[in-house]
Structure 1
């Protein structure tokens, strides 16, 4: 098969934006690769099948470079040194940083942090008005990750309401608010790092300041501030996952009833929701350093390639009856919602526990929780997300 013969997907097409699952399903069953038509960008290919997507994400020939990320205009020069996160780095540079920080993000550490997340969730639920419709995205799903990040890194309590605002601005995508939030986030992160160097506490920044590799290597202040920025960006994943998950469970009342009846189903439910309606549709583009034969097609050197998570996570070659939501599904954790390989999401364990605590806490607190009209979905070719989630409690 040649590149010209591949199925094509126009990511700006209204039907694709409204139902990317159907569009990518059709392409996946025709070929393991598809050509993406992305307005304003050059040629991009998508790997549509699970096995091939996983192989690409673990293949060192597919590199991240400056074309992998877009930086919105207007960002102050003194902030740019902190914007290139670990996800934008490859090779020894990435390996070094990952080795220094990964021990702080294990599944065991996420479970140890769970009681604090439970207190944060309960405090947020306490603020929801019991009468009248509530926008669950605005009032619960969005502020939760920022509250968790503030607790994790040690942002002072007095500053946390402002950090919620920053999180909301970042979650809105590239634009005026996104650009305006960056200097404030960087200034706050610098202040936290400086304070923890003077006076360590029981938080992530203090722990990472104390980390030293066998060769004496340590994280610099720039790297610590950049990590905080990385967490702010990554924090949008659980916000969107929680909102998407609530909608999915509303639409599948038998699944919601099962989860309400048994909190022990929550870990599997989160993985199944991540597989079935996870927010990230496409991975960060990678670029082959050489011509690579992949899925029966030669991908030319330097061509942008993404893994279509939206397609791979519903690949019938891996998941039986993949378009069916089943929170008891065996093997749901094989999803690629947190990517795969060297750039597997650093905070995946934290995101999983956060979503578990949020969903079980929400449905336990409000047994009559119900949708109030239709959820408002935001058209976005890269993220399956809502603009609002009106409910009655």
Structure 2
């Protein structure tokens, strides 16, 4: 019996980890839907999810992603590598991967630290970490990494807020400005390559076209919002688990391990982008017909007791991650190392200061585990 999950069920919205966990213990596949959406297949177990994410019979398509109403001249830059498959995807991935390696992420750390420090120094005594810290930080980092001029960065923060909303008029209205700024950044990078992402790509042996480089900046803006939700989820979780907070403060060297554990335990992704069956596929005894969508229920997968000991327990000392918070297979998140380093820097700086939660308001979002507000006394 394949369990069914309604995305409008208040219990699912309030506690997706329990709801998806019940489905996981019933079967490795579930059906997820809501009025006007679905139903779609959902992998609920770790082994099944890895199989789906690494199986070429399930593909990402342009219609996997939202296409907002934007001017025609911007559309050429919106077909990102995340939507590509096969040789085209492999070529781009090979070219850009060195610019996003773990080593390059560590190289960028000294440039992220002052961005974090400036935001923290500007916090009032009672601050909303979502509004005042976590939302502006990812766009500040992206601006630093692609060479957006300082005088334009406040505008890019506004773009980041609009893009983080995921849809709506503000989302669509932000795109022309992002594309114009990205084209200018690419032109500056070609004229005088800097020590940043675009500089790395200009110096690559196999050069990207202008359209490909602008598209990469757009992809960074889209996917680069993840740390905003991850950072605030992590702070809220640690404040709710003072024993784990104490362990981490006593040994800051645990931070890389802690970040992976926090991604596993309270990462923002609840359901992944849909993939579509290229042909009829039998998976876990179920027939998934050609063109039917399937997602990974990360909320269930990353707490699967078949893959993790005591998975519902937050343990910042947990060795090894194994989580699928950044995906798996050919489309493993390109910016995973950068997101980890950014989160490490942010949490290290935040936790060096006394924090007391005043108000925690969670967004009723069935696809993303995120906060609307996290007010703390600093």
With the shorter chain as reference, the TM-score category is over 0.9
The equivalent of 2:104 in structure 1 is 109
Unaligned runs of 5+ in 1: none
Q: What is residue 121 of structure 1 aligned with on the other side?
A: 116
**1:43 matched to 2:27:** no
| Local SS of the residue matching 1:372 | strand
1:66 aligns with 62
Q: Deviations over 1:35-86 (max 9, x none)?
A: 01132134310000000100110000111123311212x2111111111111
1:192 aligns with 2:185: yes
Contact 1:371 1:391 in 2 (8 A): yes
Q: Tell me, in whole angstroms, the C-alpha distance in 1 between the residues paired with 2:198 and 2:35.
A: 40
Other structure's SS at 1:389 match = strand
Q: Provide the residue aligned with 1:383 in structure 2.
A: 368
Q: Displacement of 1:299 after TM fit?
A: 1.2
Question: What residue is the counterpart of 1:355 in the other structure?
Answer: 343
Q: Per-residue deviation at 1:164?
A: 0.8
Q: How far, CA to CA, are the matches of 1:286 and 1:186 in structure 2?
A: 27
Deviations 1:73-122 (A, max 9, x none): x2111111111111111111110110110011110111111111111111
Alignment-derived partner of residue 71 in structure 2: 76
Report the equivalent of 2:128.
135
Q: Secondary structure at the match of 1:43?
A: strand
Return the match for 1:275 from 264, 270, 283: 264
Equivalent position SS for 1:117: helix
Q: Which of 6, 29, 33 is 1:10 aligned to? A: 6
Which residue does the alignment assign to 1:166?
A: 159
1:43/1:303 contact within 8 Å kept = no
* CA distance in structure 1 between the partners assigned to 2:40 and 2:137 by the alignment: 34
Q: Do 1:250 and 1:370's aligned partners in 2 also have CA atoms closer than 8 Å?
A: yes
Provide closer, same or farther for how the CA distance between residues 56 and 138 of structure 1 changes in structure 2, counting only shifts above 3 A: same
Question: SS at 1:82's partner residue?
Answer: coil
- Count, aligned residues: 378
- Does residue 297 in structure 1 map to residue 297 in structure 2? no
Shift of 1:171: 1.0
Determine the C-alpha separation between the residues in 1 that align with 2:292 and 2:357.
43
Match of residue 182 from structure 1: 175
Query: Which residue of 2 is the match for residue 336 of structure 1?
Result: 324
2: CA distance, partners of 1:89 / 1:113 = 28
User: 1:331-374 CA deviation, whole Å, 9 max, x = no partner?
Assistant: 3x20000000000000000000110110011111x2x211013x
The C-alpha deviation readout for 1:13-40, integer Å capped at 9, x for no partner, is 2211111111100100000000011321
Structure 1 stretches of 4+ with a deviation exceeding 3 A read none
Where do 5+ consecutive residues of structure 2 fail to align?
A: none
Indicate if the aligned counterparts of 1:38 and 1:44 stay in contact, CA closer than 8 A: no
SS state at 1:27 partner: helix
Alpha-carbon distance between aligned partners in 2 of 1:135 and 1:31, rounded to the nearest angstrom: 40
User: Within 2, Cα distance between the matches of 1:170 and 1:304?
Assistant: 24
Per the normalisation by structure 1, the TM-score is: 0.94
**Alpha-carbon distance in 2 for matches of 1:38, 1:85:** 27
- When structure 1 is superposed on structure 2, of 266-275 and 378-387 the one drifting more is 378-387
Return the alpha-carbon distance in structure 2 between the equivalents of residues 56 and 66 of structure 1: 18
Distance in 2 between the 1:222 and 1:312 partners?
36
Q: Distance in 2 between matches of 1:85 and 1:280?
A: 20
Q: Secondary structure at the match of 2:37?
A: coil
